[in-house]
Amino acid sequence: GPFGAIIVKDGKIIGAGVNSVTSLNDPTAHAEVQAIRDACLNIGTFTLKDSVLYTSCEPCPMCLSAAYWSRISKIYYFFTKKEAAEI
């Protein structure tokens, strides 16, 4: 689907991702996970403490777990899961 996510720390975008599940044939390549991977690479650590995840859709359980393990502080989303299913 048409999903995207960014991670912001101290007012600066440190990571971005788009849904790449079908293009990569990777069921874990959701926009949120891709953004977390990008942010960790960009800042050189697996801890994203004090960072905020902005995403186009309510995160699934896998993405929420990834945000938890990376210690993202807040998550904001635009569409609920139900609304996204209607797209």
Annotated catalytic residue 32: yes
CA distance 77 to 40: 21
CA distance 18 to 56: 10
From the list 32, 58, 83, 86, the catalytic residue is 32
CB-based contacts of 10-17 (< 8 A; 24+ apart in sequence): 10/50, 14/38, 14/39, 14/42, 14/43, 14/48, 14/51, 15/39, 15/40, 15/41, 15/42
Q: Which residues are catalytic?
A: 32
